[in-house]
Structure 1
Amino acid sequence: MPEVIFPGPEGRLEGRYHPQKEKDAPIAIVLHPHPQFGGTMNNKVVYNLHYAFYNMGFTVLRFNFRGVGRSQGEYDQGVGELSDAASALDYLQSMNQNSKHCWVAGFSFGAWIGMQLLMRRPEITGFVSVAPPANMYDFSFLAPCPASGLIINGLADRVAPPQDTRSLVGKLQEQKGITITHHEIEGADHFFQGAHMDTLIDNVTDYVKRRLTETTR
């Protein structure tokens, strides 16, 4: 899988780009957890999400936010990171101009950034939000949420407690015109360690495959 360097708002951004042979393959971008707490594009959840999407036929890009790895710039409280994500999506789209479907997936801090990107980019047709930190960040910008998606979290998550995720899901599920699917994984912590990682990826794969089937009928 080729390492790529592409332009971001504060200089170059470092990523991993995994193309399909089909020119009209769907595309997906995967966003990593908090840069100041060790989050990188090689985080296990991000890595596994990347390959899950690739194995479902997506052309996939994951990348390091500014100030992480070889990406230039400094941490910017989420504001600059959202701009980074938009630049990454621009890059991915420029390489895949015939793609009919565009998804965003994010883990923890990356889920928060991904949901903001969703609001700005109407071409995004689906999202996967893993362990969104609804206790730490305001998600009220999702009014209305423009696309259907999956929110998934662990019931033993102490970083982003399940009750906060349920509250977020409840608000989103009241909105008309979209369907928010919510899965909770028994015994899984914030990082889905051990066998919980397989359960996470199985849930994501089942959901995305079902959505793709529905849109191609």
Structure 2
Amino acid sequence: MPEVIFPGAAGRVEGRYQEPSKEGAPIALILHGHPRAGGSMQDRVTVQLYKLFTSKGFGVLRFNFRGIGRSQGIFDNGMGELSDAASALDYLQTMNPNAEQCWVGGYSFGAWIGLQLLMRRPEIDGFIAVAPPANHYDLSFLAPCPASGVIIYGTRDSVTTAQDMERVIGRIRTQKNIKVDGAIVEGADHFFRGRDPGEDHLADVERHAREYLERRLAAPPRPPTSKR
């Protein structure tokens, strides 16, 4: 899990990069939670997603948005962070020019950034969005959503309620052969903690994400579309 530094629009960007298990293996970019709420590439959901993709042989990159850790710059309310994500994906693709698939995974604010990146980068084949803050950020830009993915959320999330998330998923328009799934974590809040002290639901997030990823990897490649 070597440390890497790569250029971004605001200066250097700090990341952690895991090489793929073989030439041509898929790649995945992992995006962390809100920088103003303590989010970093070291937060537990971000690390869990990183480990999941690594376990499947992907080339995987997670990084700190601008102003976090050794990444230069200051928080930019999403616009700059989207630019950071685009720079990170460029770096990851440069390291893996023959990758057979490209995925993006994100938690909370990072999930929102990842979904925006999805709309701008047609090479992205799939996504895992964990607890996107749909009550704070409009997701109507997913119209239509250009790639299949899963949105994982807790039933006790006060940032975006389960009912609101269900409505958001139901309103996402998709094109042919594209499907957006929802995966519910019973009893989990936005941080995937439970109601009782010590109760933790991180393993449930990992299970939903793993089951979805394994199902997608076992399926035949989706046919080429106009986005390619």
TM-score by length of structure 2 reads 0.92
Aligned residue number for residue 5 of structure 1:
5
Give the Å deviation of 1:21. 3.3
Aligned residue number for residue 50 of structure 2:
50
Aligned residue number for residue 226 of structure 2:
none
Aligned residue number for residue 127 of structure 1:
127
Q: Is 1:88 the equivalent of 2:93?
A: no
Give the Å deviation of 1:56. 1.2
Paired residues of 2:18 and 2:54 also in contact (CA < 8 A): yes
Paired residues of 2:169 and 2:180 also in contact (CA < 8 A): yes
Structure 2 CA distance for aligned equivalents of residues 204 and 149 of structure 1: 10
TM-score by length of structure 1 reads 0.96
Aligned residue number for residue 64 of structure 2:
64
Paired residues of 2:108 and 2:130 also in contact (CA < 8 A): yes
Paired residues of 1:61 and 1:92 also in contact (CA < 8 A): yes
Deviation readout 1:146-184 (Å, 9 max, x if unpaired): 001001100011122212211110011x53321111111
The one-letter code matched in structure 1 to 2:180 is I
Aligned residue number for residue 211 of structure 1:
216
Paired residues of 1:56 and 1:205 also in contact (CA < 8 A): no
Structure 2 CA distance for aligned equivalents of residues 87 and 198 of structure 1: 30
Paired residues of 1:31 and 1:62 also in contact (CA < 8 A): yes
Give the Å deviation of 1:216. 5.3
Structure 2 CA distance for aligned equivalents of residues 23 and 176 of structure 1: 31
**Counting helix residues as a fraction of each chain, which structure ranks higher?**
1
Aligned residue number for residue 107 of structure 1:
107
Paired residues of 2:45 and 2:202 also in contact (CA < 8 A): yes
The one-letter code matched in structure 2 to 1:93 is Q
Structure 2 CA distance for aligned equivalents of residues 214 and 167 of structure 1: 27
The one-letter code matched in structure 2 to 1:119 is M
Q: Is 1:37 the equivalent of 2:42?
A: no
Unaligned runs of 5+ in 2: 194-198, 223-228
Structure 2 CA distance for aligned equivalents of residues 54 and 195 of structure 1: 23
Deviation readout 1:46-77 (Å, 9 max, x if unpaired): 00110011001111000000000100000001
Aligned residue number for residue 17 of structure 1:
17
Q: Percent identity?
A: 57
Structure 2 CA distance for aligned equivalents of residues 197 and 181 of structure 1: 19
Paired residues of 2:145 and 2:175 also in contact (CA < 8 A): no
Structure 1 CA distance for aligned equivalents of residues 214 and 171 of structure 2: 25
Moved more, 73-82 or 156-165: 156-165
RMSD: 1.2
